[in-house]
A = this chain, B = another copy of it.
Amino acid sequence: MSYPFKPNPKLDLTLERFLDAPRELLWRAWTRPEHVKQWFTPKPWVITDCEIDLRPGGLFRTRMQSPDGKEVNDRHCCYLEIVPNERLVWTDALLPGFRPSGEPFITAVIALTPEGNGTRYTATAIHRDEATRDSHEEMGFFDGWGTVADQLADYVKTI
């Protein structure tokens, strides 16, 4: 049976990279708060809090803060699918316990595929409509998620 999701270029945004790291390491960096805090927001923003309850219905929370501390983005998301070392899916359309959040923006799918000595890294943002997709692109999806992928690749060399 095929996976029930295929990105739709009209609705979704995808960032794809080859990362020079084994996928087990990338998985670890994506699923432990102490690691996520080190790379998950484009510097000089920082992550001041991260909570992870790694199971379907569990919480994925990151609190991001601007360098001057004035802007804060505290996101409570819900994990949907967890396939260790392979695929991680969460959404802000639901809160922990699968509760509708009332502020549905994206579902994110992180896919890790072995390639040579490294990993094909694919991060997809799934949106409800073209307007949301386009606004996300204008907000700087490729820049932001690209910077974060670079930070991730650098960070995993240190763990």
Question: Chain A residues in contact with chain B, CB under 8 A?
Answer: 1, 3-6, 11, 53, 55-59, 80-81, 89, 91-102, 104-107, 109, 126-129, 132
- Say how far A41's CB is from chain B's closest CB, in angstroms: 22
CB pair A107–B102 under 8 Å, yes or no, is no
CB nearest neighbor in B for A81: B56
Q: Are A1 and B99 in contact (CB under 8 A)?
A: no
CA distance A25 to B129 in the complex (A): 39
List the B side residues contacting A98 at CB < 8 Å.
5, 80-81, 89, 91, 107, 109, 126
| The residue from B53, B57, B58, B107 contacting A94, defined by CB atoms under 8 A apart | B107
Q: Write the chain B residue with the least CB distance to A80.
A: B98
Which residues on B sit within 8 Å (CB–CB) of A55?
Answer: 1, 4
Distance between Cα atoms of A81 and B105 in the complex (Å): 21
Known contacts A4-B55, A80-B56, A93-B94, A102 near B99 by CB under 8 Å: no
Q: Is the CB of B101 within 8 A of A104?
A: yes
Q: Which residue on B lies nearest to A127, using beta carbons?
A: B100
Inter-subunit contact A97/B6 (CB<8 Å): yes
**Interface pair B93/A104, CB less than 8 Å apart:** yes
In Å, the complex CA distance between A53 and B132 comes to: 26
